[in-house]
Structure 1
Amino acid sequence: MTVTGPSAAHADGDEAWLCSAVTGLSLGRVPLATDRQVLQTVDAARRASLDWAAVPAVDKHLAVHRVIEQVTLRQPEIARLLAEEVGVSVTPLPSLSPGFAVPESRAKAGVCGVVVTWNDPLAGTTDLIVPLLLAGRSCVVVVAPEIALSGLLLGEAVRAAGLPDGLVTVLPGGAAAVDALLGSAVEHVIANGYAVVSALPSALLSEDAPLDGFLAALPWLCLAGNGQYGRDRTRVLVPRKRFGEIVDAVTDTVAALAVGDPRDPDVAIGPVLDDWHVEALESAVAQAWRAGARITLGGTRDRTWDDGCFLEPTVVADPDPLGPVAQPPVPGPLVALLPYDGGLDGAQQLARRAGFCIDSVWTGGSTFNQSHARKSVAGTTARSA
């Protein structure tokens, strides 16, 4: 469940040393959980869950609110650390809320594992933990070595909330820790991020979709995490009848995004994880160009910056849906525009063939229409009302 290849976090026995994606300088060493430590933590979590399941629902909600308060207090620092660790821009993290209630009769003891990949928005981990706590479960969270520092800060927030010992534990860990968690006696393992999604998130523009709303949303829709987050929709399906118009508009919009130090709140695009990712993305773009795709923006290392691992924000028009740009080896600030024929049915056929998940649909009837979504083989798609 980890992205293979070199990374900014290098394992050294049971430690990892982290380098800044911004400056290339060392951020320090962090101990990594061993498989034995993971199994011991799961055992402690199971003991904690037996008492926790019997706690009245009102007390569970009070505890959850304390967790949310402590994480919220640390959100600015978590965001700053993520900017250093993986290059994502410092932007306001999602507001956190318990969201729903679980009847006391349904509370059930048990242990759930949570695997957080390096390109999974860490703040969203709290949204996974909260419903599990309300349901009477304990949690063992394994965060990737690349985001170990921000992961430890999340663990600090959980401890500060005063939860019972062993109820929620955050462990930085590599492949051995993840394997140990998967092989342990946990009831469920939740994992998300680029490395574990079964289909590639994509956006779809219909033939009558107004462009203004889509272009305004493009920075957070496609490039919220430099294109590195698993939810970033860096593939956009575009009607062939409007292809030229949309390619030009998207190229201009991406070209206008500020590139630089992701710790600056005015910056939209920061560096990617490491040099290996820059080289892999450059190679993918070069292969697409040789196969006939049109590179309308970027495509190579950004030489403006002496430090950091910057790829120029890139737009590629008409790449092979099964090629390395639409199916990149690693994520990054690379938007692929793919033309389709035959209306929405044709777009769905293209998505099924390429393994895309259409989860953002823009039509003339509703600029962002997900409320009428229906399932397809490719994922979730929608028709205008």
Structure 2
Amino acid sequence: MREHDRLYIGGEWTEPASAAAIEVVSPHSGEAVGRVPEGTAADMDRAVAAARRAFDEGPWPRTAPAERAAVLARLAEGYRRRSAELAELITAEMGCPISFSRLAQVPIPERTLDYYAGLAEGFTWRETRQGLLGPVHVEREPVGVVAAVVPWNVPQFLIMAKVAPALLAGCTVVVKPAPETALDPYPLAELAEEAGVPPGVLNIVAAGRGAGEHLVSHPGVDHVAFTGSTAAGRRIGAICGEALKGCSLELGGKSAAVLLDDADLAGYTAMLPLTALLNNGEACIAQARILAPRSRYAEVVEAVTERVAALAVGDPADPATEIGPLVSERQRERVEGYIASGVAEGARITVGGGRPDGLDRGFYVEPTVFADAHNGMRIAREEIFGPVLAVIPYDGEEEAVRLAEESDYGLAGSVWTADQERGLALARRIRAGTFGVNVFNIDVNTPFGGYKASGLGREFGPEGLEEYLEHKSIVTLG
């Protein structure tokens, strides 16, 4: 049981404004694994004030990019030292298999810090262009105080997707973690201190929706970086639009994996735990819609069903586990509601559909495959955020593209084919921010984000840094 009674504000461990607490519950056992203060609007006010002082009066925005990069590099080294602890903590909080925590939950934040530390030297912070009247100095300056609002599914990954580029840019940040994963930011605060992040540059206040909206609406915040549901993203976008402040929104997805008629089914099904069922299916990039050619439909359904049936479901702390529990009772009820909806709308369950035998505690749902599905069904149209797959038939490549595109979302997708050029051609026809050919991955050196209802802006790569910079032109006479 991890217990904390302070918030990290202004470089200090400070008393919260109220006695309210967040109890972090193990998705495996249903028992409490930690307790932290629940941030209030008053705590957010203090955090924004600290970030504002650090930006307006402190050294950080005026420090050379190379010096800021050195701090990021030291923070990455701290992550490496404590990687085992962080991986176990994230698994305990939100239920992903420990294998996934070790593969991605901690290593990707490390790589993100390393990437942005290395980007500083080659990035164009200032340049001179020839204007109509003479030289024009184009300078990139930090946008100001950033509110980073993150969900629970990949908590450190999504914190660092915002914090690393924001700090390199010279911004100061207030992080609002989700209540479900309120424990893992505490080691981050300790590591930031050790790395030399100045007071007020990084502030962390775990809180619920009300205090989060107060932070987003705060006049002292210049930019909001949010990852979460499309509904919440629309609300945040409206608030930011009213205040004329910037925002970057990484929102929902309903990713499609398009299997062409020459796809290697063994290769595709081998990747299912890291594509369709990534992170227990609690991933916006999970390829939960599987589009299969009608000529091979029965074969695809059989292969996917066989692979899903063989997945090891159980204690997420066990290295052999491939599917763990969902994050909360509320999330399990949501997923079970979608499974019931799929049955009611006429889809056929080929495996799963209930709760696993022998796992009476915790928030488990069997990995579930639906056949005879179509795009009009809720299970194919809406983001479920759980281990539920829908296999949808198509006739011909043109219909495959149409079905893949027939979605409110445009975050990610993949195509599986023996002909890479054919796969690339199809990938270019589908409006999605990230696409894979016989694989799917996110690389921190390339932009990630969505089209349509999947969001605004990009994370990672130089494009991710640009989200936290303003461009200033200084005109001079020749």
Task: State the TM-score bracket (shorter-chain normalisation).
Answer: 0.7 to 0.9
* 2:42 aligned with 1:42: no
Separation of aligned partners in 2, 1:368 and 1:112: 42
- C-alpha deviation, 1:75, in angstroms: 2.7
Tell me the residue number matched to 1:248. Answer: 302
- C-alpha deviation, 1:356, in angstroms: 4.2
* 2:371 aligned with 1:317: yes
Separation of aligned partners in 2, 1:128 and 1:153: 17
Listed as ranges, the matches of 1:307-346 within 5 Å are 307-327=361-381, 330-343=384-397, 345-346=398-399
Q: Is the 8 A contact 2:34 2:183 kept in 1?
A: no
Separation of aligned partners in 2, 1:251 and 1:81: 32
- C-alpha deviation, 1:53, in angstroms: 1.8
- C-alpha deviation, 1:329, in angstroms: 6.7
Tell me the residue number matched to 1:303. Answer: 357
Tell me the residue number matched to 1:225. Answer: 279
Separation of aligned partners in 1, 2:275 and 2:383: 20
Q: Is the 8 A contact 1:16 1:29 kept in 2?
A: yes
**Per-residue Cα deviation, 1:221-243 (whole angstroms, up to 9, x for no partner):** 12221001222222222222221
Tell me the residue number matched to 1:275. Answer: 329
**Per-residue Cα deviation, 1:309-348 (whole angstroms, up to 9, x for no partner):** 11111111132424332245742111221222231x3223
Q: Summarize the Cα distance change of 1:239–1:188 in structure 2 as closer, same or farther, 3 Å threshold.
A: farther
* 2:92 aligned with 1:84: yes
Separation of aligned partners in 2, 1:240 and 1:13: 59
Q: Summarize the Cα distance change of 1:376–1:176 in structure 2 as closer, same or farther, 3 Å threshold.
A: same
Q: Summarize the Cα distance change of 1:379–1:118 in structure 2 as closer, same or farther, 3 Å threshold.
A: same
Pick which of 274-283 and 247-256 moved more: 274-283
Q: Summarize the Cα distance change of 1:87–1:379 in structure 2 as closer, same or farther, 3 Å threshold.
A: same
Separation of aligned partners in 1, 2:45 and 2:262: 55
Q: Summarize the Cα distance change of 1:217–1:261 in structure 2 as closer, same or farther, 3 Å threshold.
A: same
**Per-residue Cα deviation, 1:356-380 (whole angstroms, up to 9, x for no partner):** 4352222222399679843645665
Tell me the residue number matched to 1:98. Answer: 115
Separation of aligned partners in 2, 1:22 and 1:368: 43
TM-score, length of structure 2 as denominator length: 0.71
Listed as ranges, the matches of 1:97-246 within 5 Å are 97-99=114-116, 100-101=119-120, 102-105=123-126, 106-108=140-142, 110-184=144-218, 185-194=220-229, 196=233, 197-246=251-300
- C-alpha deviation, 1:119, in angstroms: 1.9
Separation of aligned partners in 1, 2:199 and 2:422: 44
Tell me the residue number matched to 1:21. Answer: 27
* 2:56 aligned with 1:71: no
Tell me the residue number matched to 2:61. Answer: 53
* 2:401 aligned with 1:352: no
SS in 2 for 1:326: helix
SS in 2 for 1:140: strand
**Per-residue Cα deviation, 1:21-70 (whole angstroms, up to 9, x for no partner):** 11111123211211222122122212223421211122111101011112
Separation of aligned partners in 1, 2:257 and 2:289: 6
**Per-residue Cα deviation, 1:173-202 (whole angstroms, up to 9, x for no partner):** 110222012112322211224565244233
Q: Is the 8 A contact 2:254 2:383 kept in 1?
A: no
- Which residue identity is paired with 2:37? P
Separation of aligned partners in 1, 2:313 and 2:422: 27
- C-alpha deviation, 1:266, in angstroms: 1.7
- Which residue identity is paired with 1:273? V
Separation of aligned partners in 2, 1:55 and 1:111: 16
Cα RMSD (Å):
2.7
Q: Is the 8 A contact 1:302 1:310 kept in 2?
A: yes
Q: Summarize the Cα distance change of 1:24–1:371 in structure 2 as closer, same or farther, 3 Å threshold.
A: farther
Q: Summarize the Cα distance change of 1:342–1:372 in structure 2 as closer, same or farther, 3 Å threshold.
A: closer
Q: Summarize the Cα distance change of 1:295–1:200 in structure 2 as closer, same or farther, 3 Å threshold.
A: same
**Per-residue Cα deviation, 1:105-164 (whole angstroms, up to 9, x for no partner):** 324251122111122342342232212111111111111000001232323322332200
Separation of aligned partners in 1, 2:415 and 2:430: 13
**Per-residue Cα deviation, 1:296-317 (whole angstroms, up to 9, x for no partner):** 1100011321321111111111
Separation of aligned partners in 1, 2:435 and 2:317: 35
Q: Summarize the Cα distance change of 1:319–1:274 in structure 2 as closer, same or farther, 3 Å threshold.
A: same
Q: Is the 8 A contact 1:360 1:370 kept in 2?
A: no
TM-score, length of structure 1 as denominator length: 0.87
Q: Is the 8 A contact 1:298 1:312 kept in 2?
A: yes
- Which residue identity is paired with 1:73? R
Q: Summarize the Cα distance change of 1:211–1:192 in structure 2 as closer, same or farther, 3 Å threshold.
A: same
Q: Summarize the Cα distance change of 1:330–1:350 in structure 2 as closer, same or farther, 3 Å threshold.
A: closer
SS in 2 for 1:335: strand
SS in 1 for 2:291: strand
Percent identity, aligned pairs only, is 35
Separation of aligned partners in 2, 1:13 and 1:295: 47
Separation of aligned partners in 1, 2:422 and 2:361: 38
